[in-house]
Amino acid sequence: MPTVKLLIKGGYVLTMDSDRRALNGADVLVEGEKILAVGHDLPGDDAEVIDATNAIVMPGLVDCHRHTWQTNLRALLADWTLHEYMRGIRFNISPILRPEDIWSANFIGALEAINAGVTTLFDYSHSNNTPEHANAGVEALLASGIRAVYGYGFVPAPLDEPVFKTVEDRIADAQRIHSEYLPSRDALVTMATALTEVGLIPLSETRREVEASRDMNVIQSIHNHAFWGTSIGRGIGIMHEAGLLGPDQIHVHCNATTEDDFKYLADAGSYIVSTPDTEMQMGMGHPVFLEAARHGIVSTTGCDIISLHGGDLIGQLRLGLQDARVRANSLFNEKGEMPLRLTTSSMDALAWGTINGAKALGLEDRIGSLEPGKQADILIISGDEPNLWPMNPEPGTVIFHSHPYDIETVLIAGKRVKHDHKLVGVDYRKALANAQASRDWMLDTVMQEKGELLPPENSVSLISLEQMARENLNS
Report pLDDT digits (tens) over 132-141: 999 999 999 9
Instruction: Please give the mean pLDDT across all residues of the chain.
Output: 96
Looking at residue 375, its pLDDT comes to: 98
pLDDT at 146 over 90: yes
pLDDT at 408 over 70: yes
Nearest by Cα to 254 from 229, 278, 272: 272
Q: In this predicted model, what pLDDT tens digit does every residue of 346-374 receive, in sequence order?
A: 999 999 999 999 999 999 999 999 999 99
CA dist list (Å): 217 to 213, 236, 359, 375: 6, 21, 16, 22
Reported confidence tier of residue 474, pLDDT bands at 50, 70, 90? confident
Question: Would you give the distance in Å from CA 354 to the centre of its chain?
Answer: 11
Looking at residue 2, its pLDDT comes to: 67
Whole-model pTM: value is: 0.98
Q: Mean pLDDT over residues 46-66, rounded?
A: 98
Q: How many CB atoms lie within 10 A of CB 91?
A: 18
Q: In this predicted model, what pLDDT tens digit does every residue of 313-331 receive, in sequence order?
A: 999 999 999 999 999 999 9
Which residues, in sequence order, are CB contacts of 165 under 8 Å at separation 6+?
Answer: none
pLDDT at 1 over 60: no
Geometric angle at alpha carbon 208, from 206 and 211, rounded to 5°: 110
Reported confidence tier of residue 44, pLDDT bands at 50, 70, 90? confident
For the domain bounded by 5-59+376-423, which CATH number is listed?
Answer: 2.30.40.10
- Which segments of the chain belong to CATH 3.20.20.140? 61-358
Q: Mean pLDDT over residues 59-77, rounded?
A: 98
- Which segments of the chain belong to CATH 2.30.40.10? 5-59+376-423
In eight-state DSSP terms, residue 87 is I
**Of residues 3 and 228, which shows the higher confidence score?**
228
In eight-state DSSP terms, residue 296 is T
Nearest by Cα to 119 from 31, 189, 30, 38: 189
Looking at residue 45, its pLDDT comes to: 87
Q: How many CB atoms lie within 10 A of CB 169?
A: 14
3-class SS at 475? coil
Q: Mean pLDDT over residues 191-213, rounded?
A: 97
3-class SS at 463? coil
Nearest by Cα to 417 from 114, 23, 58, 62: 114
CA distance 119 to 472: 38
Looking at residue 475, its pLDDT comes to: 78
Looking at residue 419, its pLDDT comes to: 98
Which strand (E) or helix (H) includes residue 67?
Answer: strand 61-67
Looking at residue 105, its pLDDT comes to: 98
pLDDT at 463 over 80: no
3-state secondary structure 88-139: HHHHHHHHHCCHHHHHHHHHHHHHHHHHCCEEEEEEEECCCCCHHHHHHHHH
Q: In this predicted model, what pLDDT tens digit does every residue of 275-299 receive, in sequence order?
A: 999 999 999 999 999 999 999 999 9
- Return the percentage of the chain with pLDDT > 90, whole number: 93
CA dist list (Å): 133 to 153, 246, 395, 424: 11, 29, 40, 27
- Return the percentage of the chain with pLDDT > 70, whole number: 99
Q: Is 334 exposed, middle or buried (0-12, 13-18, 19+ CB in 10 A)?
A: exposed
Q: Helices 99-115 and 428-450, interaxial angle, to 10°?
A: 130
75: alpha, beta or left? (left if phi > 0; alpha if psi -120 to 50): left
CA distance 140 to 146: 10
Per the CB < 8 A criterion, the answer to whether 429 and 61 are in contact is: no
Reported confidence tier of residue 461, pLDDT bands at 50, 70, 90? low
Reported confidence tier of residue 465, pLDDT bands at 50, 70, 90? confident
**CATH architecture, domain 61-358:** Alpha-Beta Barrel (3.20)
CA dist list (Å): 267 to 30, 105, 219, 264, 403: 38, 37, 18, 5, 38
pLDDT at 197 over 80: yes
Instruction: Please tell me whether the peptide bond between 393 and the residue prior to it is cis, using omega within 30 degrees of 0.
Output: no
